[in-house]
Amino acid sequence: MRSNAVKLGATLAAVTLSLFASVARAEEHAVEGGIDTKNLTTLPTADQKPATSPDDPPPIEPHKKGVVLQSSLGAMGFVGQFRHVAPPAPWLKLQLGYEPIKYLMAFGEGDLFFTDTSQLQDPPKTKAFAAFGFGAGLRGTVPITEHFSIFLEGSVGLTKADIAKSALANIGYKNAESLNPYFGGHLGVEWYQLDRHLAIGLAGGVRDLTGFKKTIGTSDTPIAWDGALSLRYTF
């Protein structure tokens, strides 16, 4: 009995070794033929797609909120009687704001424009001058897509022309030479970049420049229009 058991055990061991040798030879042939059976994975079916692909665009990070610095470059023109005094002017604007929530921003602003009196006075009487202003306001933003949004903002502040004393007073615009209130509003769009800190904007609006109201002769509502391209950075 014992000899029979030994023979059976030897036979089973020989069969097992033979099977392992066959499997090893099969794997060697597979690798030599360009197929590594150890690293084979199930290929996706027609209804399945790989989770990621090298050709896929990078994921879009959410719009960042926080402290916002924005600069704008554009033009300002006049609708009231002052349009007969000064032509449209190059316009610069700077805003510093804070977004307590994603789509609401409180901001302070400062702006500067350069023009002259060439619409009313011929050289050499023409007076070139700059005007500056500063104020504060609120902006509300509505998202349209992951990349674009529209915004509406309103602001109030003070503005004045920096010109020789009485140069504007003599032609009927005395108040423009001192600080007077303005009230303005803008509508615009923003395009968010892949860098979530950056956005490019385009906006236009109107403001009531109360100090540029004519004080001699026919009075009017001193409305000005403006439009600008802007770049903003959110810290």
CATH number at residue 219: 2.40.160.20
pLDDT at 83: 94
pLDDT at 221: 86
158: which 2 tokens?
């003070």
Q: What is the pLDDT of the chain when averaged over all its residues?
A: 83
Q: Are 118 and 87 in contact (CB under 8 A)?
A: yes
Q: Examine the domain organization and report whether 24 and 108 are in the same domain.
A: no
pLDDT at 218: 76
- Nearest residue to 229 (alpha-carbon basis) of 108, 110, 93: 93
Let me know if residue 46 belongs to a domain. Answer: no
Q: Give how many domains the chain has, as a whole number.
A: 2
Let me know if residue 156 belongs to a domain. Answer: yes
Across the range 51-64, mean pLDDT stands at 58
Q: Examine the domain organization and report whether 159 and 95 are in the same domain.
A: yes
Position 35 pLDDT exceeds 70: no
Q: Examine the domain organization and report whether 201 and 144 are in the same domain.
A: yes
With left for phi above 0 and alpha for psi between -120 and 50, is residue 166 left, alpha or beta? left
Let me know if residue 50 belongs to a domain. Answer: no
Let me know if residue 19 belongs to a domain. Answer: yes
Higher pLDDT: 166 or 60? It is: 166
Let me know if residue 53 belongs to a domain. Answer: no
Let me know if residue 47 belongs to a domain. Answer: no
- Nearest residue to 134 (alpha-carbon basis) of 151, 163, 112, 164: 112
Q: Examine the domain organization and report whether 140 and 229 are in the same domain.
A: yes
pLDDT at 5: 42
Domain of residue 26 covers: 2-39
How far is the C-alpha of 194 from the C-alpha of 59, rounded, in Å?
Answer: 9
